[in-house]
A and B are shown apart, each in its own frame.
Chain A
Amino acid sequence: MKLNSRSALLLMLPATVLYALFVLYPAIESIQLSLTNARGLRGGSFVGLANYRALLHDPQVTAALKNTLIYTVFVVVVQNALGLAVAAWLYSHPKIRTIARTGMLLPAMMALVAVSYLWQFIYSPIGGPLNAILGGLGLQSLEQSWLGNPSTALASIAATYMWMYLGYTATIFLANYLAIPASVLEAASLDGATGWRRFKYIDWRLLAPSLTVNVTLSTIGSLRVFDLPFVMTNGGPGNSTQTLSYVIYTDSFQNFQFAYGTSIAVVLLVITIIASILVTTVLRRREVAA
């Protein structure tokens, strides 16, 4: 079937209209809205960059910005390192690979909301299982209110997120492992490259495509983290678990500061674009080099 331009246009129309109306148009609108002083549904008047100037001095927003960036760097590095290690481990045990992967993927099938409540229970300071386990191991000194302590709250949320997606990340790395012709890894082993040496010089390079996918997914996913702090901590204690998405939601839909909330969203958009360009350029270049 040779498609001509006219029929092509008609075939593409439904998706393009849907996408333009409910994604592109709101995206452009958000920039315009962020330059007004709209509160709630009453359209505001143009105020230029006033919202952006205000957010730079808003302690909640600066805390959210800092937390989001720390959280993202931490999750991207640790989750991918662990995921890669688990994938290599799964790869070397073909017989138990499927059952292990099934178990590890279970958390990723749950809604973030459900995971948040589950871990709120695990972390709970009174009779929570985590403290009970630490107590049982004779580590009473480590028992604490995990989500109520400003110095552990963000890390506890990050641990929950990584628990949820570790199997997911490992599954992607494992798929890449399985796509490498076994003869390549066999030949490397015969040449005396084993263990860490083989990983460093052979596996690490051949896994470049899955590294790109995983780093991109975890970067985008953790930059927009919302459900976990929303359910588990409400941004607290203090401002210790404020994230950009959380501040956008509360400013827009609890304080009805539509324009101000949206200006924070535009900041998140800019950060996301910069991060994905950075990740893509660095990692794609690596893929080509390998």
Chain B
Amino acid sequence: MSSVLTTPVRAGDGAKAPAPRNRPGSRRRALRSRISAAGLLLVTLVLVAPIILAIKVSLQSDADASSNPLGLPHHLDWANYSNAFQTMDYGRSVFNSVLITGCSALVVLLTGSLCAWPLARLSRAWTKIVYQFFVAGLTIPVFVLITPLYILMRNLHLLDSFASVILSEAAISLPFAVLFFTSFLRSVPAELEEAAAIDGAGPLRTYWHVVLPLLRPASATLIITLTLAIWNDLIIPLVMLSSDNKQTITLDVYNTIGTHSYSASQLLPTVLLGTAPLLVVFVILQRHIVAGISAGVGKD
């Protein structure tokens, strides 16, 4: 595994090594590679530019931004942020998002792994049918469920509660979680679980002390994928929640901007405050996030 990962680097060195440095062919190749690398960095910069531009304009007054849309600000207007912060009910909304995202992810993690274990280890006709039911759930767009789900939550007297959002988000995420855990468990041998049985552990003890720790890398990946999807989701909180003090940060961004006619100096700080928590998490957990995105394709 580690040799596979380091080989591309060695291949790059190897391509240069055989030819002496002063040969025109190799120099041309090195030049071309350097230009290509510069091009790649330029493309990256162009893709990041809208975010950098937004940060810049978010710190300008409207007059400065319109007379000077692309240049450096003459003066940093931090008041834009304190204004947005106050209009948004920021702390409350971030707290709600953390609560909703955390609870949904925990429910999916526990129920999904409990379900995946027998699906991976027990081969019966009925387990195959259950598995297919979860596969079917992968393609159902949330918009097909949204109205019946709204009516169901109303009948359960759960509308405008955190539970309505947590249950909906968790159930919608379950198919992916179950299939992901099942394929992960199929790739590891069952010996540890069998050893636990010889020691006399029952199913739940084995699950807690053997299966769940075994799933740790897959769980990390799954939690990151779920966090991205649930934290950023608009439609379910939009339909289920109506009280201002229950809204998620994503819904807060929508409500704050959607109900005002905003200028750039009001709009962009709101957008960036709404985005900041996940961007910080991304910078810290980058390696895991990349692993989460590449799950099922790469080697991670």
Contacts and interface: CB of A to CB of B under 8 A. Distances in A.
A100 B44 contact: yes
B31 interface: no
B232 A112 contact: yes
Contact of B197 (A1, A91, A273): A1
A75 interface: no
Main secondary structure of the interface of A (DSSP, over half): helix
A226 B143 contact: yes
Contact of B193 (A1, A33, A94): A1
Contacts of A41: 151, 154
A230 B66 CA distance: 26
Contacts, number: 310
B96 interface: no
Contacts of B201: 1
Given A23-B174, A102-B286, A273 B210 contact: no
Interface in B286-300: 286, 289-290, 293-294, 296-300
A2 interface: yes
B193 A132 contact: no
Interface string A1-38: 11101011111101110110111111101100100000
A235 B151 CA distance: 26
B5 interface: yes
Interface residues of B, number: 111
Contacts of B65: 127
Contact of A105 (B53, B127, B268, B282): B282
Interface stretch (B72-80, B83-91, B118-126): B118-126
Contacts of B149: 22, 26
A15 B151 contact: no
Contacts of A2: 194, 197
Interface string B1-25: 0001101111110000000000000
B100 to A, nearest CB: 14
Contacts of B141: 220, 223-224, 245, 265, 268-269, 272
A106 to B, nearest CB: 6
A129 interface: yes
Contacts of A12: 114-115, 118-119, 127, 130
Contacts of B210: 1
Main secondary structure of the interface of B (DSSP, over half): helix
A50 interface: no
A178 B37 CA distance: 18
B281 to A, nearest CB: 8
Interface centre among B142, B154, B196 (most CB of A within 10 A): B142
Interface centre among A41, A106, A276 (most CB of B within 10 A): A106
Interface of B: 4-5, 7-12, 33, 36-37, 39-41, 43-45, 47-48, 50-51, 53-54, 57, 65-66, 69-70, 107, 110-112, 114-115, 117-119, 121-122, 124, 127, 130, 133-134, 137, 139-152, 154, 167-168, 170-172, 174-175, 178, 190, 193-194, 196-197, 201, 203, 206-207, 210, 228, 231-232, 234-235, 239, 250, 253-254, 257-258, 264, 267-268, 270-272, 274-275, 278-279, 281-282, 286, 289-290, 293-294, 296-300
Top 4 A-B pairs, shortest CB-CB distance: A175-B298, A175-B294, A22-B171, A8-B118
